Homo-oligomer: A and B are copies of this chain.
Amino acid sequence: MTMTEIKIELTTNKKDKPDINNLGFGRFFTDHMFVVDYTEGKGWHEPRIIPYQPISLDPASKVFHYAQTVFEGLKAYLTVDNKVLLFRPESNFKRLNASNERLCIPVIDEELALEALKQLVEVDREWIPNAPGTSLYIRPFIIATEPCLGVASSQNFQFIIILSPVGSYYKEGIKPVKILVEQQYVRAVAGGTGEAKTGGNYASSLKGQELANKDGYSQTLWLDGREKQYIEEVGSMNIFFKINGTVVTPALNGSILHGITRDSMIQLLKAKNIPVEERQISIHDITEAYHNGTLEEAFGTGTAAVISPIGELKWLDERIIINNGEIGEVTQMLYDTLTGIQNGSIPDQFNWTIKL
């Protein structure tokens, strides 16, 4: 992807905007999308913003068969004074390139990707919802488009960015979630693709997720694939525990995602002088802390909800109730601080936000 100009073709047929009170997550999409093609020998070429439209692919395209694909997820926020903020977008494009490396996908030019993203959000700016807690979810993704069934890396790719206005996760105030610790299924293993943001990780998680939902739990907590005892992460969140005054989160061990919200929380905790540790944590550490009364708080972190307090963990036959099923003090402070930085009501001492 060279630093050529991004061509812009505006739609002549704008869609109706969805009801801002019924946005949900990832169900509505804006009027435009960004696309750039990769061809072996030619590199990334023809970056363009075009009307949102179907992708037309040969049925033999590798993405349909071998899931050679990576993606990212981040958000644009409308501030209290009507400015548009992007939250740490460079981190997302850096992570996209790390995923590319694992999936044998050619790296993208992170600067051009950011430039493309800014222009796209600018073009569809009127789609950024302004109700409290709402935002514009941004989904960059890359798919393998070569029409060939040989199991080998594709010669052609498309890098696409689409935008979706999304609702607040917490319409009726923050509500702690109940999470099932999965014993049978495995999401990822060291040496696999767990650290990359690639479709296969999510495909493999659907079954556990479905069983958890049937049981009344909103998400799955995954244990490591080798010994099934070390805590990895939740469906689409990293996880933190506050045990005896110290906040702990699983270390980046090769099989969990390097969450950008996770990293932000660690920096926030350090700035607030709250002890925080990245280390291996077994499910037994958690049950032990629960039994001896030192398990004080638990929460998940991710772009979608920022923070999800965890009110209950189910492990085998035991229901571990955390902080009486209510949001903890540190969890609330982290949520308020990070969302404050994102909506511009709290000064951004970390330089995380980019103003459009």
Interface residues of A (CB under 8 A from B): 24-27, 29, 33, 52-60, 63-69, 71, 102-104, 137, 139, 141, 143, 147-153, 160, 162, 164, 184-193, 198-207, 209-210, 225-228, 235-236
Contacts of A210 in B (CB 8 A): 104, 153
Could you tell me the distance between the alpha carbons of A164 and B201 in the complex, rounded to whole angstroms?
29
Q: Min CB distance, A219 to chain B, in Å? A: 9
Contact B69 A203 (CB under 8 A): yes
Secondary structure of the A contact surface, majority rule: loop
Contact A149 B25 (CB under 8 A): yes
Contact B153 A59 (CB under 8 A): no
Contacts of A187 in B (CB 8 A): 192
Contacts of A25 in B (CB 8 A): 149-150
* Nearest residue, chain B, Cβ from A219: B151
The 5 tightest CB contacts between A and B, nearest first, are: A200-B200, A26-B149, A67-B199, A186-B191, A67-B67
A-B contact pairs, 30 of them (CB 8 A): A25-B150, A26-B150, A27-B150, A29-B58, A29-B59, A33-B59, A55-B56, A64-B69, A64-B199, A65-B69, A65-B71, A65-B139, A66-B202, A66-B206, A67-B200, A67-B203, A69-B203, A103-B203, A103-B206, A139-B149, A151-B209, A152-B206, A185-B191, A186-B192, A192-B192, A198-B200, A198-B203, A225-B225, A225-B226, A226-B226
Could you tell me the distance between the alpha carbons of A54 and B33 in the complex, rounded to whole angstroms?
20
Could you tell me the distance between the alpha carbons of A189 and B222 in the complex, rounded to whole angstroms?
14
Contact A65 B202 (CB under 8 A): yes
Question: Given A25-B149, A190-B186, A225-B225, is A103 in contact with B63 using a C-beta cutoff of 8 Å?
Answer: no
Could you tell me the distance between the alpha carbons of A104 and B276 in the complex, rounded to whole angstroms?
38
Contacts of A184 in B (CB 8 A): 191
Contact A141 B64 (CB under 8 A): yes
Seed contacts A64-B143, A199-B199; 15 additional CB < 8 Å A-B pairs: A33-B59, A55-B59, A56-B56, A64-B69, A64-B199, A65-B199, A65-B202, A66-B202, A67-B202, A151-B209, A152-B209, A184-B191, A186-B192, A188-B192, A189-B189
